[in-house]
Copies of this chain bind each other. A is one copy, B any other.
Amino acid sequence: MTQPQRLPSLRRVAVCGGTHGNEMSGVYLVRHWLRDPSELQRGTFHATPFLGNPRAIEQCTRYIGRDLNRTLTADFLNSKNTNLYEVQRAQEINQTFGPKGSSQAYDLIVDLHNTTANMGSCLIVDSEHSLLSMHICDYIQKHSRIRRCPILFYQQQPEEETYSVCSVSKAGLALELGPQPQGVARADLLAHMRSIMACALDFIELFNKGTLFPAFETEAYKVVGPVDFPRYPNGEISAVIHPNLQDKDFQPLKPGDPIFQTLSGEDILYDGDDVTYPVFINEAAYYEKKVAFIKTEKRTFSQPALQKMF
């Protein structure tokens, strides 16, 4: 048996809600934890709750000036121009929980998101190289009461610069729960998110206490790229997500399957060469990004065993 990978214990953990101000599960949970943090306490550590984008939350909108969750890059973190609220906020978050990439950075940030897509309780990590995050996901998959928590790798290229709020800490994990409309808190999704969060904290507690987490194999979905809506020459959308594709996140889409339906009633078929597994199908916030859905590939990934450094 090969030796487990070793990482230092995890003392500085944070959980962020409202990175997008209209994704309400995280907003409501973090507001609750700011009043009563007892749920975030374990024997070896406690998680610090914080609101990502307070002004956007106040206005119940995704962001004020630009998407905060695309703003944690070197360019914005080093920018002297903080006219945009989210640039200022990114720098504050980096100061409190980073600096990004440094040894002073927090050990882990869990960032709480919602989607209007039918993605269930999705766990988003950068890539299969995020060892700690992958072990947390595996633990959640095996121990949470939620039936299915698919893992999504967001990074398309290993050299790609990360940009999300949870990229400020040494390890990051985003929970992406849906379907839930923007500006709405549903009790069922709130309970699911809460239970997954508790599971993540339980993992950290066990890790800090020296538990050996064995090597494992797991299926995960890796982002391949976005697909835009069909459009008229003037840029207006000319077709909607096909009823056969709507709500079918993480299900196989084969070449020739219908993906859009025009307002005139014609089907538009998927012309890719291979089966893909679409995610973020009909996500409200992605219309402005010209994304109707995101293609992924499903693969099996192996992870080595993990144990605390003694």
The reply to whether the CB of A4 lies closer than 8 angstroms to some CB of chain B is: no
Task: Give the contact stretch, choosing among A40-48, A142-150, A207-215, A282-290.
Answer: A282-290
Q: Out of B36, B182, B237, B287, which one reaches A284, CB within 8 Å?
A: B182
The contact size tier of chain A is: 35 or more
CA of A240 to CA of B284 in the docked complex: distance in angstroms? 22
With A28-B240, A236-B31 as given contacts, are A261 and B183 in contact (CB-CB < 8 Å)? no
Interface of A is mostly: loop
CB distance from A43 to the nearest CB of B (A): 23
The reply to whether the CB of A263 lies closer than 8 angstroms to some CB of chain B is: yes
Residues of B near A116 (CB, < 8 A) are 181, 183-184
CA of A193 to CA of B288 in the docked complex: distance in angstroms? 24
Identify the closest chain B residue to A241 (Cβ): B187
The reply to whether the CB of A246 lies closer than 8 angstroms to some CB of chain B is: yes
Residues of B near A181 (CB, < 8 A) are 116, 179-182, 184, 284
CB distance from A293 to the nearest CB of B (A): 12
Identify the closest chain B residue to A242 (Cβ): B187
The reply to whether the CB of A159 lies closer than 8 angstroms to some CB of chain B is: no
Q: Which 8 A-B pairs have the closest CB atoms?
A: A181-B181, A183-B284, A32-B263, A116-B181, A187-B243, A184-B284, A185-B240, A187-B240
CB distance from A261 to the nearest CB of B (A): 5
The reply to whether the CB of A186 lies closer than 8 angstroms to some CB of chain B is: yes
Residues of B near A243 (CB, < 8 A) are 187-188, 191
Q: Which of A5-64 contact B (CB under 8 A)?
A: 28-29, 31-32, 36, 60-61
The reply to whether the CB of A190 lies closer than 8 angstroms to some CB of chain B is: yes
Given A32-B264, A185-B241, A187-B242, 9 extra CB contacts under 8 A? A29-B263, A36-B264, A60-B287, A116-B184, A180-B181, A182-B182, A182-B284, A187-B243, A188-B243
CB distance from A144 to the nearest CB of B (A): 18
With A179-B181, A181-B181 as given contacts, are A187 and B284 in contact (CB-CB < 8 Å)? no
CA of A255 to CA of B190 in the docked complex: distance in angstroms? 25
Residues of B near A287 (CB, < 8 A) are 60, 183-184
CA of A284 to CA of B183 in the docked complex: distance in angstroms? 5
Residues of B near A184 (CB, < 8 A) are 116, 181, 282-284, 287
CB distance from A23 to the nearest CB of B (A): 11
Residues of B near A28 (CB, < 8 A) are 237, 240, 263
Contact flags (1/0) for A267-290 with B, using CB distance below 8 Å? 000000000000000111101100
Residues of B near A180 (CB, < 8 A) are 181
Q: Which of A143-188 contact B (CB under 8 A)?
A: 179-188
Identify the closest chain B residue to A61 (Cβ): B61
CA of A263 to CA of B38 in the docked complex: distance in angstroms? 13
With A181-B181, A181-B182, A284-B182 as given contacts, are A187 and B31 in contact (CB-CB < 8 Å)? no
Residues of B near A187 (CB, < 8 A) are 240-243, 246, 261
